Amino acid sequence: MRYSGFKVFLEGLTGNRGWKPAWRDPEPKSDYDVIIIGGGGHGLSTAYYLSKVYGVRNVAVLEKGWLGSGNIGRNTTIIRSNYMLPGNEPFYEFSLKLWEGLEQDFNYNAMISQRSILNLFHSDPQRDAFVRRANAMMLAGADAELADEAQLRRELPFLDFDNARFPIKGGLFQRRGGTVRHDAVAWGYARGADAEGVDIIQNCEVTGFQIENGICKGVQTTKGAINAKKIAVCVAGSSGRVMAMAGMRLPIESHVLQAFVSEGLKPVLPGVITFGAGHFYVSQSDKGGLVFGGDIDAYNSYAQRGNLPVVEDVAEGGMAIMPMIGRARLLRSWGGIMDMSMDGSPFIDKTHIGGLYFNGGWCYGGFKATPASGYCYAHLLAKDEPHPVATEMRLDRFKRGHLIDEKGQGNQPNLH
């Protein structure tokens, strides 16, 4: 069924009796060409592009809970492509271009809103670094716009420009950045993949891999054994747990990242604002709540909740840059588990085990990557070679010394 304004109108006249479930609820078959483990944003987008673009039809997505129960529904919904390094920026720009055509492509309203993203700077050296990043972005085909203090005072008069510690001297805009209704991304991809014949199997936890002579031939699940030619792991947040079942240690630590939303307010924020120096970033949802976050809690965790010191740190960061939020009440806070990799960049790669593929290590930046991650993973699964924009996202890059370290922090995952 195609969704359209006309369809909404027609159903409204006929008592909304014609709507059907957006995807089937099938039992698993015994054999598939490709099994994707993980029914989050990346797993579902992989299934969607694998079937729709690469023509692989006999595909199953196994999800241990319900669709979109992980980080696709726990993030702060920001899309952007303001990275710098050659191994990253073309990939994220590819992702942003996919976002721009996504709703028409999968015929689902994901409320993609290119309301811009702004990174603030506070000093001349930081400005120089942002100019360099802006140039790298433009070389990869992305948009970037440097704004000085006078321009920001006109556009965002509520910021604390004369902050004693971090006076605002300007910022780097990416006008094509913005926000998306994140749950709708999971639903849209699920519906699109299902329409292409992908079996989406919920409440089906993988409990082991069937590995014979170095080749992975299937998985054991809570719904029985399932065989497949290719097994694609896509479980960022649980990568350590799942890959341990295949006997692999990863260049990843799991950390918890908290996010927050205030009570609904009248429109005050035109776009996304990030205050990197103070560990704070914020946007305003269409319902009016301020959606904001800061740093990870910085210790290994698989608990989807954090602790109070980071709540305090984020609130202080917000007050420092935007004192007007002081009277807004915090409505909710929650946590999601991040695959923090050793250089802050992700993996889309084969493993040393035949037929077993790995996608993970997205740190706190997986949401914006959802379309390109799925597209590039599907490319790898279909053709057994990396997509041209994802050639650097290899598992062995640390051994080769080819790190993609945007922040230059080295192998300290909680600092990326």
Partner 1 sequence: MIINHPLLGPRDAAEFVYLGDESLIERPDPNAPDAADRFYEYGYLRDNPAGEHKELWYHEQGDRSWLVVTRNTITHQITHVELARDVARAKGRDR
At closest approach, how far in Å is the CB of 297 from partner 1?
A: 9
At closest approach, how far in Å is the CB of 412 from partner 1?
A: 8
124-139 vs 89-106: helix axis angle to the nearest 10? 60
At closest approach, how far in Å is the CB of 234 from partner 1?
A: 17
Q: Which residue lies nearer to partner 1 by CB, 150 or 308? A: 308
Going by C-beta distance under 8 Å and a sequence separation of 6 or more, which residues neighbour residue 291?
76, 77, 179, 259, 260, 261, 282, 283, 284, 285
Going by C-beta distance under 8 Å and a sequence separation of 6 or more, which residues neighbour residue 352?
214
Give me the amino acid identity at 239.
S
Q: Which residue lies nearer to partner 1 by CB, 197 or 410? A: 410
Q: Which residue lies nearer to partner 1 by CB, 143 or 313? A: 313
* DSSP reduced 3-state for 49: helix
Quick check: 299 and 414 in contact, CB under 8 A?
Answer: yes
At closest approach, how far in Å is the CB of 268 from partner 1?
A: 31
Q: CA-to-CA distance for 26 and 221, rounded, in angstroms?
A: 15
Q: Which residue lies nearer to partner 1 by CB, 227 or 414? A: 414
Q: CA nearest 110: which of 190, 47, 52?
A: 190
Q: CA-to-CA distance for 245 and 261, rounded, in angstroms?
A: 36
Interacting residues toward partner 1 by CB under 8 A: 238, 240-241, 244, 249-254, 298-303, 307, 309, 342, 398-399, 411-414
- Between β-strands 117-121 and 215-221, what pairing exists: parallel, antiparallel or unpaired? unpaired
At closest approach, how far in Å is the CB of 355 from partner 1?
A: 22
Q: Which residue lies nearer to partner 1 by CB, 89 or 253? A: 253
At closest approach, how far in Å is the CB of 359 from partner 1?
A: 17
At closest approach, how far in Å is the CB of 352 from partner 1?
A: 13
Neighbours of 314 (CB within 10 A): 25
Going by C-beta distance under 8 Å and a sequence separation of 6 or more, which residues neighbour residue 248?
351, 353
Q: Which residue lies nearer to partner 1 by CB, 37 or 186? A: 37
* DSSP reduced 3-state for 391: coil
Q: CA-to-CA distance for 369 and 380, rounded, in angstroms?
A: 16
Q: Which residue lies nearer to partner 1 by CB, 113 or 300? A: 300
Report the run of H or E that residue 372 belongs to, with start and end: helix 370-383
Q: Which residue lies nearer to partner 1 by CB, 337 or 390? A: 337
At closest approach, how far in Å is the CB of 251 from partner 1?
A: 5
